[in-house]
Structure 1
Amino acid sequence: MQHVVIGLGKTGIELARYLKKHHQAILVMDSRAKPPELPAWRAIQTDQDRCILGQLNWSEVNNNSTIWLSPGLPPNLLPDDALVARSIQIKSDIDILMTRQQRPKIIAVTGSNGKSTVVEMIQHLLKINGFSSAIAGNNARPAVTLIDNHVDYWIVEVSSFQLHYSADFSPDVGLLLNISVDHQDWHQSMLHYINSKIKCINRASCAIVYRPILSNTPIKNTKLISFDDDNPSADWTTINQQIYAAGKPITGVIHMPIQRLNLLAAFATIHALVDQPVVEVYQPKLPYRLALTAVINDCYWYNDSKATNIAAMQAALQTINHIHSQPIVVLILGGFAKCESIPEIDDTLFQIVKCVIAFGQAADWISHWVPKSTQVVRCEHLIDTMTIADRQSHDADVVLFSPACASFDQYTSYLERGRHFDELLRNISETVSC
C-alpha cells in the first residue's frame, strides 16, 4: 500500500518520519514550491521516496493508497469523491495515534477557545494524582510525536481542521469546551464547523460537554457529562462562584466565569478517570495569552496574540475589566479575518474601550462591527499600531493587543506575531527610558 503525506509543515515532516520507519517508501506532496520543512525532508528522503512540489497531483496517488493530511488543507483542494471511488483512504494526522497497539488512554480536548488552558490543567491534575502524561496536537507539537511516548495518558488538543478529515480517531475521553464563530473561511459554514467539532464527542468513550451546546447540537454519546457555570441542570456546575463536587465546595470563590468553566471541564475529566482524585485550582501561564508585558508611563500593555477569534478577544476584555476595575482601554485588533460576515458583539464590553486600532487585512472588516460609539483608527502594520497606541494611552490606561484574527496575513503564527509585539514594545520602553 502506498502512503502519501500532504503538506511539509511541522505535522507533515513528523508524519513522514514516522511512516518511513514502518514503510519502504512514501510519496510527499505540497502545493507550495518551497514548504518550510523541505530541508528536513531532503535529509531523510531516499531514492525510493517521491516528492511533488508546487501542486497537488492526485493522479500520482495509486489506487488503494492512504493519504495522511496535515491540518489546514482546505476541503476545496481535496477531490474526496474521486479519491474514495479509487479506494483511497483519507486520514487526518490524529488518526495515526489509533494505529499503536496497547496505547495509553487518550484525552481529546476541542472547542473554539480554552483548549490549551484546559489541556495544561488536566495534565497538572493527572500529575498530582500520580499519573504521567504527554501533550500534543493543535499546538507546537504534532500529534504523531506521541506515538512512541510511553505514559499513562495522551492529552491531545484537536482542531476542527484535524477532526474534519478524521476517519478513526476515537478518544477515551472527549471534551467540547465551547463553540463560537470561527474558521468560516475554511469550513464555509457554521454547520460544517460544528459537525467537525462533535466528531470528537460522538466517537469518545466518555464525552464532557459545555451544557448550552446540548440544546441545539445533536450529540450521540450515551456516556455524557455536562458542565456549566451556575446551571443546576449541568452535571458539574458552580454555586455562588464556587465549584462543587458531590455537594461539597472544592474551590474558593473564583470571580472570572471563564476560569470557572475551564476548571469545571478539567475537574469533570479527572473525576471521570480517577476514583476520588486530588484536585486543586491551577491557572497555567500560556505564551501570549493575556500576558502583562510592560508598564510604560503608568500604562499597562498586555500581549494576547493567542486571541485569534472574536470570542477570545471578548473574554480578554472581560478579564481586563475584572483585573483593573473599569479601566480605559486602547484595543489593538487585526490580522487575517477568518470570516466575512459581521459577528455578534457584546457592545457592553466596549464601554471600557476608548479607541480601537485596526491593522492588516482585516482592518476594514473590523471597522464594520466595532460599536459606532468607539473610535476606530486603521493602519497597515503592527508597528504602526504601537505608535498610535503609545500616543492614545495615558496614565493608568490599558493597551490590550488581542487581535481577534488569525496571523497569516503578515506572520507565520500567533507566536511570531506575539514575539514581534514584545520586540516593538521593548523599543518603546527603551525610548521612554532614554
Structure 2
Amino acid sequence: MITSTAWKDKKYAVLGLARSGRATVEALLTAGADVLVWDDRAEARAPFSGRCAIGDPLEADLTGYAGVVVSPGVPLNTHPIKPHADSFGAPVIGDVELFAQARAELPPHKIVGITGTNGKSTTTALVHHILQEAGVPTTMGGNIGLPILEQEPLPEGGVYVLELSSYQIDLTYSLDCDVAVLLNITPDHLDRYDGDFAKYAASKSRLLAMQRRGQNSIARFTDARVLGQFAEGTIASILEDVLKNRGVEPSGQADWPSLQGPHNLENAAAAIEVCDILGLAGPQIRAGLESYRGLPHRMERVAEISGVAYVNDSKGTNTAASAPALAAFDNIHWIVGGLAKEPGLGECEAELGHVKAAYTIGKAGPDFAALLQPHVPVEQCETLDRAVAAAAAKAEAGDTVLLSPACASFDQYADFEKRGEHFRALVEGLT
C-alpha cells in the first residue's frame, strides 16, 4: 500500500467505493486521516462501518476538508459534487492526485504518464513489459491494473507506468511525470466536455502542463500543434520522428507478433522513445518488443481455424480505434456495430479495401449496413453469435474474422470486455 504522512489528521471525503475507492480509503486510514465515505450501495459501505464516518458528502459540511476523492466515472460537468465541494473550498481530486502527493516519501523513482484517445493501454503495458524484461523494477497503474494506492512501493530505481484517461487527469493537479506521452487526440467522450472537443483536448494536454522544466514530453506533431506548445522547458520528442532517430526500421515490426498494424507501430514508437529516455539499450528494447504478447481485447489473436484467423479487437469502441485494425489485415470479415459514438464510418472508410464482407450487430447495425452496402457485401446479424457463425461459414483460408465494432458495447453488453469474452467463447465453440 502507498501512503503519506502528509494525509495524517486531515479530513477527506471519498465518494464511490468500487475498487479504487476502497483502496483510497484504506490508504487514507492507514495514514491516519479522518475519512468520510459514501456509496449508494449499502453493501459497499458495510466494510467501513465503525472504521470511519459514513455519509453522503453532498449533505456534509466540507469546511476544512483537504480533498473530496471521487471516481473518474463521476462526470464533473454535471454531477453536483463539484459545485458543492467548491462552495466549501474543498478540492475534488482522484487517487492519482493522492499518489502524486505521496511521491516525496517513496524511494527514488520515475513516473511515465501515458494518455491519448486510443492506444493508452497497449502502450502502457508495452512500456511496462520492456522495462520488466530488462530487469527494471516497475508496475502499472492508473487506468490499468490494480489501483495505484493498493500497490506496494517500488524499490529505488523503480518506474511507475501510469495509463491516464482524461477523466483521471481532470482530477489530478500535481503529477509531475518524468516522461509524459500524448499518443493522439480524436473526438471521444465529448458528453463529459459539453460537446466541446477543445475542452477534451485541453484536458489531455494538462498531463504535459503539470511537468517541471527539464522533464520529457512525447507527442505527435499534429497534436502538439493542436495544443499550441509542450509545457515550457520540457524536452520534447515528436512521435513521428522516433523510429528514424532511434535507428529502428519500420520493417522491424514484422518481428513484433503482437504489435501489428499502423496504430501499433505508433504505440511501439512511443514505447521505444520512453525506454530510450529511461536509459535502456537498443537490444533490451528490441527484445521487449519481440516478446510482448499483448492485452486482451486489443488486436488479440484468439485462434486460427482451418487457416482463418480470429481476432478480438473489442476495445475498438470508435471508428478511429477500429480503422488501424482494418489496416492491419487483408481479406477481413468485419464484425461491426453496437452503440455508436459518432455518425458515419469515420477513418474506417479509408480502409474498406481490406474488408471482404461485413456483419453488423447491435443498435447501430442498420446504420452501418446502409453505409457499407455500396462498398462490401453485408449481412445484418443483430447479435454477435449470429455474426460469428455467418463469418465462419464464409471465411476461407487466409482470411481474418475481425471483431472491431467501432462502437461502445452498452446496448448489448456490460462493457467491451464482456463483448470480447463472448467473442472468444464463440470462437472456441467453433473448434
CA contact (8 A) 1:227 1:265 kept: no
What runs of 5+ residues in structure 2 fail to find an aligned partner?
Answer: 1-9, 255-260
Partner in structure 2 of residue 315 of structure 1: 324
- Write out aligned runs for 1:11-410 (5 A): 11-23=20-32, 25-30=34-39, 32-33=40-41, 38-39=43-44, 41-46=45-50, 48-52=52-56, 58-65=58-65, 66-75=67-76, 76-100=78-102, 101-103=104-106, 104-127=109-132, 129-146=134-151, 148-150=153-155, 152-187=158-193, 188-204=195-211, 205-221=215-231, 222-229=233-240, 234=241, 236-238=242-244, 244-245=245-246, 248=247, 253-254=252-253, 256-274=261-279, 279-281=284-286, 282-283=289-290, 284=292, 285-321=294-330, 327=331, 329-337=332-340, 339-342=341-344, 344-364=346-366, 366-367=368-369, 370=372, 372-410=374-412
Partner in structure 2 of residue 414 of structure 1: 416
Change in Cα spacing, 1:24 to 1:272, as seen in structure 2 (3 Å) is closer
Equivalent pairs: percent with the same residue?
A: 24
CA contact (8 A) 2:173 2:210 kept: no
CA contact (8 A) 2:120 2:163 kept: yes
TM-score (norm 2): 0.83
2:313 maps to amino acid: D
Aligned residues: 401
Q: How far apart in 1 are the matches of 2:203 and 2:263?
A: 23
TM-score (norm 1): 0.82
Q: How far apart in 2 are the matches of 1:219 and 1:90?
A: 27
Question: Match for 1:6 among 4, 7, 15?
Answer: 15
Note the C-alpha offset of 1:82.
Answer: 4.2
CA contact (8 A) 2:309 2:398 kept: yes
Q: How far apart in 1 are the matches of 2:336 and 2:363?
A: 11
What runs of 5+ residues in structure 1 fail to find an aligned partner?
Answer: 239-243, 322-326, 430-434
